[in-house]
Structure 1
Amino acid sequence: MSTTETSTESARTLPARITDELIGRLTGMVAADEAAAPFPMIEVYTGSVVGRLPQSTPADITAAYATARAAQKAWAAWPLRRRLRVFERAHELILAEHETIADLIQIGCGKTRRMAIEESCDVPMVISHYLKTAKRVLRPVRRGGPMPLLTTSTEQHRPKGIVAVIAPWNFPFAIALSDAMPALMAGNGVVLKPDNKTALCALFGVELLYKAGLPRGLFQVVCGEGPEVGPTLIDNADFVMFTGSTATGRIVGEGAGRNLIGCSLELGGKNPMIVLDDANLDDVIPGAAFAVFANSGQACMHIERIYVHDRLYDEFVRRLVTAAEELGSKAGAAYNYAPEFGSLVSVEHMERVAAHVDDARAKGATVLTGGKARPDIGPAFYEPTVLTDVTPEMTHATLETFGPVVSVYRFTDEQEAIRLANDTSYGLNASIWSRNLPRANRVADQLEAGNININDGFVATYAAKATPSGGVKQSGVGTRHGDQGLLKYTDTVNVGVLKRQVLNARAGLPYEKQLKTTLTMLRLMRRTRLR
């Protein structure tokens, strides 16, 4: 079946901006052999096929790396200020095309229009941050050498070469492009593997980069299922940036380790929220509802466990259930701002989320609201769900559900809440709510998470582009954002200069005397703070 034929199936719902020509142009950017069987791309709202995505073979991936490497050599030789001008233009192009970007995000993800627009804004935020800081971060730094005045040491940051970016389906535009931007700014080329289901928006972002002046061939896109394309993708890379599940992250990390290349892994979470007894529920309830149900719960940093002090528990639960039901009543499949709750990414994922809830229900959990699929709205819709009486043997208690499902627990002792919040192999995000900021900070100091939000669910940390963001424990290795989010894509090189030959042993001088002189110099340099 042709792209035109399949696109016509969903023409009744697709925005006018999304044409057969656009879909064909974007899918034509994939480095792939036409002989390989394409992947049918689905509009999540209807289940209709909107196009066929070419799939890359190992030979295609190898060729994509060769093309990127040829372009990268010239790109790395550009002065940094010239490279940054490309991203100044890209920043404006992305903002100007935000409606088309949102359309393409919604087609693959089924998220609400508001969430799609907000996702599109993440990339300009990252670009803006590094336009401001890249010159400082990448500038060579001259430092003192081992012998004052007679030696120097210069720290340089050189591009690694070609960075593999493996992007997830839940924020396919933001993560694919935001992870690639600093890699490109640092002088690298990129080979991107988006998820098959959500590749269109990432491909459109790459097209905008080329329109902004990125050298042709520098940013390659390959597509395919992870087990088929992953090994070749990693074996040809100089660095790997991966966002996804902890299980897949281990495989990526093993591959990078075998090749002795670096990797940055942002993985899963089972993120807790603690509501202390002095929290203001007027603030907590809308904050908790967003932290749990935004993007239909499909966010690495979203909240899946809430611990509420006994004094507030009953009122909190009542109001959270009301908020969930109100949100569920505003679910919809539309390319406008009316729906406030969207679809899950696929029927398969919806069934996985439902299985977690069904397992909990069968083992004694109470479903206060939700707990049902909504095929009347769309094939992958699932209601906002609030559970209580969740016990450790239930799947949802310990594994990441990654859907609009949250379990609420009662506590009376603050230290017990902290212990329970930390009782997980994950450590990506945590949230604390209190009117007393010093108290909240003391609790934050005891939580085991890479991102800790006070009186917020996850936006306060993730949107802070100047500060590194990553996970601890089984939630990841490395960070994105901040200076580290740029420097990780570089090799640090130390260039030492000896102006006069004073470091070698002097001929004819007994070693004991040389040692005495050396020790004296070391003491003197410490006392005078020269070294």
Structure 2
Amino acid sequence: MSNSIPAGGPLVTGPGDPEHDPTAAYALEPDQVAALTARLLATTGETVLTRTPLTGAPLAQVPQSSEADVAEAFARARRAQEAWARTSLAHRQELLLRLHDLVLDRQEEILDLIVWESGKARKHAFDEPLHIALTARYYGRTLRRHLDTRRVPGVIPGLTRVEVNRIAKGVVGVISPWNYPFTMALCDGIAAIAAGNAVVSKPDSQTMLSALLAAQLLDEAGFPRDLWQVVSGPGAQIGGAIIDRADYVCFTGSTATGRRVATRAAERLIGASLELGGKNPLLVLRDADVEKAAEGAVRAAFSNAGQLCVSIERMFVADQVYDRFVERFVARTQALTLGATLDWGNDMGSLISADQLETVTKHVEDAVAKGATVLAGGRARPDLGPFMFEPTILEGVTPEMACFGSETFGPVVALYRFNDETEAVARANDGEYGLNASIYSRDGERARALARRIACGTVNVNEAFAATFASLGAPMGGMRSSGMGRRQGAEGLLRFTETQAVATQRVMPIAPSFGLSDESYAKAMNLSLRLLKKAGRA
């Protein structure tokens, strides 16, 4: 396996721990950090130090918000939302398309910041501005289709006019994760403001700067500044304050935390969409193109070092192609270039933290101790970066091993043989999760039929995850313990609206009139129903 290290030595050097040594060098320029953190509503005077996973060097002292700051954020957002809800759809579309161009124009700056904060390979960071540009363009082109008032049939043709309006919910709370710090901070909120809402955003504490850059780009695109508020702090301290004030909540993160978010939202009778954990399966059928399946499997398992909700952690391979697939998959995995740098060229980057490294290491060590075989990888690589871990393929994983059913959220995948496709589907559906799946087969029709039997919110045929993830007209979300609600597509926008029906009655009321008795009115209505049925009316 080839390696990559920063040319000329470490990316950043410093004389010591900046918490005790104020002369320690930071990875980012102070002016750059100050410009970003100025976008925060945080008045406590407290800060939290963040570090880059690339080298462990300090990045920024991030100001922390209090519950009072959260309350002020919602007050500002509500005032802005009242005016914003009255703006035309055409104006909103114009700003969304302006955001699309800004994201593409500022792409290199965005990529640098994502890599600094997350440690991911630059090519995987590229997925984030790409996804935001696609999201902004999709809603910028389709807003009228989704939100325009529409007519539906009235009960009495010609006399009852019925319109359906979409009314913005108000202020949406967005609690976003660290693994895709730019796109997850922005993609749900883009749909929310497109629908006429305001947003209060709480990004993960480890990746605040990417989220703050996203907010800065919204300002530059022309969205009202108070429409998008950003607060910072641990979820345990201010997450509840957001849920208690929001009119709708978007949460992306662990299933355990998602359950708590859902419970708290339910107590207030507000809606919530939750994208949670996954133990995602990939099926290689007997007629699959083995080379294409092996190439896709590498991206499915090791993109963003496996720190992706839709990442594949279980592969079920038909007996007829198992040996050939394993040979090609292992070879491709061993050829990956690892590196903790800002440069293009790395096939896989770093895990984000010591906690993630510990989880991945424990899962692999536990599996090996209980009899699993490592076909590739299996080791931490501190020589490349403090939290680097090799892309790892395991064989012989059994139910008593931690990585069998629990989400690893790292570059670790287990291989399993199967004889029968019905058996493979049953094993793919085993467990509590249902987020994403992948099927490789030369017979697209058969694969699509099989996809309907897999209990996952998205299924990709002959692709890892990008086909559904990047198709913005397609809804994305989980079944079972992988969440509820959908982002993207019409569902991803309409979740932020209330449906309002307005009916206008003309000429006569829906009641006895023109001297009809109640009994005569009932007979007339019965006759009308029969005639309308014959006429094919709904």
The two structures have a TM-score, normalised by structure 2, of 0.94
| Aligned equivalent of 2:212 | 203
Which residue of the other structure, out of 502, 516, 522, is the alignment partner of 2:529?
Answer: 522
Deviation at 1:115, TM superposition (A): 1.1
- On the 8 A contact 2:174/2:188 being kept in 1, the answer is yes
* Count of aligned residue pairs for this structure pair: 523
CA distance in 1, matches of 2:44, 2:34: 13
Secondary structure in 2 aligned to 1:91?
Answer: helix
State whether structure 2 residue 392 is matched by structure 1 residue 382: no
Which residue of the other structure, out of 284, 303, 306, is the alignment partner of 1:275?
Answer: 284
CA distance in 1, matches of 2:296, 2:506: 61
**Equivalences for 1:407-418 in 2 at 5 Å?**
407-418=414-425
CA distance in 1, matches of 2:216, 2:77: 15
**Equivalences for 1:327-338 in 2 at 5 Å?**
327=336, 330-338=337-345
Deviation at 1:339, TM superposition (A): 1.9
Amino acid at match of 2:353: S
| Aligned equivalent of 1:504 | 511
Amino acid at match of 1:28: A
| Aligned equivalent of 2:462 | 455
State whether structure 2 residue 31 is matched by structure 1 residue 24: no
- On the 8 A contact 1:277/1:310 being kept in 2, the answer is yes
Amino acid at match of 2:327: R
| Aligned equivalent of 1:90 | 99
| Aligned equivalent of 1:34 | 44
Amino acid at match of 1:411: F
Amino acid at match of 1:66: A
Which residue of the other structure, out of 365, 369, 378, is the alignment partner of 1:362?
Answer: 369
Secondary structure in 1 aligned to 2:382?
Answer: coil
- On the 8 A contact 2:287/2:441 being kept in 1, the answer is yes
Which residue of the other structure, out of 432, 442, 446, is the alignment partner of 2:449?
Answer: 442
**Cα deviation digits, residues 36-72 of structure 1 (max 9, x gap):** x322111111112111111111111011000111111
Deviation at 1:508, TM superposition (A): 7.0
Deviation at 1:288, TM superposition (A): 0.3
CA distance in 1, matches of 2:176, 2:134: 18
Identical amino acids, percent of aligned pairs: 44
Which residue of the other structure, out of 251, 254, 259, is the alignment partner of 2:263?
Answer: 254
CA distance in 1, matches of 2:487, 2:248: 14
Deviation at 1:506, TM superposition (A): 4.4
CA distance in 2, matches of 1:93, 1:217: 20
Amino acid at match of 2:419: T
**Equivalences for 1:244-323 in 2 at 5 Å?**
244-323=253-332
CA distance in 2, matches of 1:252, 1:7: 39
- On the 8 A contact 1:470/1:478 being kept in 2, the answer is yes
**Equivalences for 1:193-232 in 2 at 5 Å?**
193-232=202-241
Which residue of the other structure, out of 101, 114, 119, is the alignment partner of 2:123?
Answer: 114
CA distance in 1, matches of 2:512, 2:457: 49
CA distance in 1, matches of 2:143, 2:159: 31
CA distance in 2, matches of 1:426, 1:287: 22
Amino acid at match of 2:434: G
- On the 8 A contact 2:418/2:424 being kept in 1, the answer is yes
The two structures have a TM-score, normalised by structure 1, of 0.95
CA distance in 1, matches of 2:76, 2:38: 16
- On the 8 A contact 1:99/1:117 being kept in 2, the answer is no
Which residue of the other structure, out of 401, 416, 432, is the alignment partner of 2:408?
Answer: 401
CA distance in 1, matches of 2:396, 2:251: 35
Structure 1 residues 140, 508: closer, same or farther in 2, change over 3 A? Answer: closer
CA distance in 2, matches of 1:415, 1:22: 55
Deviation at 1:3, TM superposition (A): 8.9
Amino acid at match of 2:59: V
Deviation at 1:507, TM superposition (A): 8.9
Secondary structure in 2 aligned to 1:277?
Answer: coil
CA distance in 2, matches of 1:409, 1:127: 40
Structure 1 residues 7, 470: closer, same or farther in 2, change over 3 A? Answer: farther
Deviation at 1:10, TM superposition (A): 4.9
CA distance in 1, matches of 2:23, 2:59: 8
Deviation at 1:34, TM superposition (A): 3.3
Which residue of the other structure, out of 520, 523, 526, is the alignment partner of 1:513?
Answer: 520
Tell me whether 105-114 or 74-83 shows the greater mean CA deviation. Answer: 74-83
- On the 8 A contact 2:293/2:462 being kept in 1, the answer is yes
Deviation at 1:144, TM superposition (A): 2.3
Amino acid at match of 1:322: A
| Aligned equivalent of 2:60 | 51
Secondary structure in 2 aligned to 1:294?
Answer: helix
Deviation at 1:178, TM superposition (A): 1.2
Deviation at 1:513, TM superposition (A): 2.8
Secondary structure in 1 aligned to 2:409?
Answer: coil
CA distance in 1, matches of 2:169, 2:127: 31
Structure 1 residues 527, 9: closer, same or farther in 2, change over 3 A? Answer: farther
State whether structure 2 residue 488 is matched by structure 1 residue 481: yes
Amino acid at match of 1:418: V
Deviation at 1:475, TM superposition (A): 0.9
- On the 8 A contact 1:6/1:49 being kept in 2, the answer is no
Off by >6 Å, runs of 4+ in structure 1: 1-8
CA distance in 1, matches of 2:448, 2:498: 36
Structure 1 residues 228, 490: closer, same or farther in 2, change over 3 A? Answer: same
Structure 1 residues 315, 227: closer, same or farther in 2, change over 3 A? Answer: same
**Equivalences for 1:102-251 in 2 at 5 Å?**
102-251=111-260
Deviation at 1:315, TM superposition (A): 2.1
